[in-house]
Structure 1
Amino acid sequence: MEEELNYASVVFKNGGSPQKENDEDSTIYSTVKSKVPTTTVTTGGGAAAAHSRHFVLLLVCLGILCVLLISCIGVIIYICGVMKAQEAVEENIIHLEKENYQLMMDKEILANETEVLTRDRDDLNRTIGVIMTFKNFPVNAFCPDKKCQPCLESWIPFQDHCYLFWDPDTPWKTWTQAQTFCRKTNADLLVVDSLQEQEFINKHTKYYYDLHHAYWMGLRTNEDKKWIWLDGRNETLGFWIQERVGNAGGYAMTFPGYNATASWGPSGNDMQNKFICEHEALIRTPVFSFQTLPAN
C-alpha cells in the first residue's frame, strides 16, 4: 500500500516586516509525511464476499455432517434389521427342532403302538389257530370265570407250550397207546426243539421202577431207520446216552436223572412206560380276561 501524502501550508516570519520581493507573501509548499499509521479500509463488497464464503463453508460442513449422520442411522437400522432377521431365523430353527423332536417322539410312539397291535393280532391269530385244532373246544376248562389260562389244569406251561407228565403208578402204556392218549387230549407225544426244553423236561421227570424205564417221546424211526419226530422233522439234537440203556427198538424215551445232553435211549413198542404229552398253549400271556360288553 502506498503511503498517503498530506499537504500543509507553512509561513515563515522574520522579526520585522516581511521581505517584500513581491507585494504578496510567498507561499512554500513542502511535503510532510504523516506519522499516524495508515489504516487499510476494506470496502463493503469485500466483507460481504468473505462472509458469503464462510457461510458456504459452514453449509458444506453441515451437509457432510448430515450425510454422515444419515449414513450412521441407516447402518444402525440395517444392523438392527439383520439382528432381528437372525433372531427370527434362530427362533424358526428352534421351533423346527422342537417340531422335529415331537415328530420323532410321535413316530416312536406310533411304532410302539403298531408293534403292540401287531403282537396282539399275532397272538389272537395264534389263539384262534389253537382253538381250531379242537373238535369241541373246552371253553370252561381253559377259561374258568371268563379268564383264559395258557394250559388246562394239571398241564405245565413252558415257552408257549403245555406239557402233561403222565405218571400214574400202573398200568403204564406202550408208545402207540401213549400217542393215542395224547391225541385224545388234542396233543402229541413230546417233541424236543432245544436244549432249554430238554432241561425243562429233566426237571419234571423222576426215576421210577428201574434203570430201563423212562418217558416216551414223540420220536421214532422210519422205513430208512432214521429218527423222525412226529411233526415230520429229522432229529438233529442228538441227546442220546452213549452207553446202552433199555432195549433195542425204534421208539425213543427220555431218561430222568441224566444230563440233558445225554438223556435219550431207544426201546421197543412192546415196553410200557410213562410218557409226556405236549401241545401249543392257548395264549402266550399268563392270564387273559374277556372284555365284558356293556348292556344295551
Structure 2
Amino acid sequence: MDSEDRIERIVDIYISAEAVREMKFKKDTDFNTAKPQTSQHTGSDGVKIRSSRAAGVCLVLLCVLLLTAVIVLCVLIYTKSTNYTQERQQLLTKITNLTEERDQLKSERNELQKRLADGWKCHQSSLYLISSEKKSWTESRRYCRERAADLIIINNTEEQDFVKIISGGSELFWIGLTDIEVEDRWRWVDGSSITSG
C-alpha cells in the first residue's frame, strides 16, 4: 500500500465521519425546533391515530344505539299508558253502569218488599193483588194502572189455580180480558189474543 492509497482512505473515513456528525447535528436541531417528523418516524403515531378514530366511531355508534333504545322505550311507554288510560276509562264506565244497575235493583227490591207488605202475592216472578173493593172492570183497571200494574193475564191453568187460591176461592174478580174494541173478539189488555176458552 502506498501513501497515496492511505490518504484516500483517510479522506473516505473522514468524509464518513463528517456525514455522521452532520446527521447528528441535524437530528438535534430537529428535536429542539420541534419540526414535524418525517414519515419514517410516524409509523407508531399512525397506528395511534387509527386506533383513536376507531374508538371515536365506536363511541358514536354506541350513542346512536342508546338514543334509538331510549326513543323506542319512550314510544312503548306512551303506547302502554294510552292503553291503560283507555282501559281505566272503560272500567270506570262499567263500574258506573254496575252501580246504576245495583241502585235500580235496590229500588225494585224495596218496591217489591213494599208491595208484599201491602198484601201483594208473588207467583212465577209476577205479583198479584186481589182488592176487596167492588168496582167495575174499567174502574178496576184504572185502580191497577195507578199502581203501575194491570188486570191479570192468565197464561196457563197453574196461574189460574193460583189466582183462585189467593182470591179465597171466589170466582168473582176481574181479569184483563176484554172485547171492548170489537164485540165478541176477546183480547188481553196487553193486546195478545186469547189462546184457550
TM-score scaled to structure 2, two decimals? 0.52
- Residue 161 of structure 2: aligned partner: 207
Residues 112 and 62 (structure 1), Cα distance of their counterparts in 2 relative to 1, 3 Å cut: same
Alignment of 1:51-130 (within 5 A): 59-117=38-96
Give the unaligned 5+ runs of structure 2: 31-36, 165-170
- In the alignment of these two chains, the number of paired residues is 169
Give the greater-gyration-radius structure (CA): 1
Shift of 1:149: 1.6
Shift of 1:182: 1.6
Letter matched to residue 149 of structure 1? N
Instruction: Identify, as 1 or 2, the structure richer in helix.
Output: 2
Letter matched to residue 196 of structure 2? G
**Pair 1:265-2:189 in alignment:** no
Identical columns (%): 8
CA deviation map 1:177-233 (0-9, x unaligned): 753442242322367xxxxxx9xx87x836366xxx8x9457878439595753xxx
Residues 180 and 172 (structure 1), Cα distance of their counterparts in 2 relative to 1, 3 Å cut: same
- Residue 223 of structure 1: aligned partner: 182
Instruction: Identify, as 1 or 2, the structure richer in strand.
Output: 1
CA deviation map 1:86-114 (0-9, x unaligned): 22331332233223212211222123323
CA distance in 2, matches of 1:226, 1:205: 19
- Residue 188 of structure 1: aligned partner: 150
Letter matched to residue 41 of structure 1? I
Report if aligned partners of 1:219, 1:227 keep a CA contact under 8 Å in 2: yes
**Pair 1:165-2:128 in alignment:** yes
Give the unaligned 5+ runs of structure 1: 8-32, 128-141, 192-197, 236-250, 253-263, 267-296
Report if aligned partners of 1:182, 1:189 keep a CA contact under 8 Å in 2: yes
Within the candidate set 94, 106, 110, 1:149 is matched to 110
CA distance in 1, matches of 2:128, 2:109: 22
Residues 83 and 218 (structure 1), Cα distance of their counterparts in 2 relative to 1, 3 Å cut: farther
Shift of 1:175: 6.3
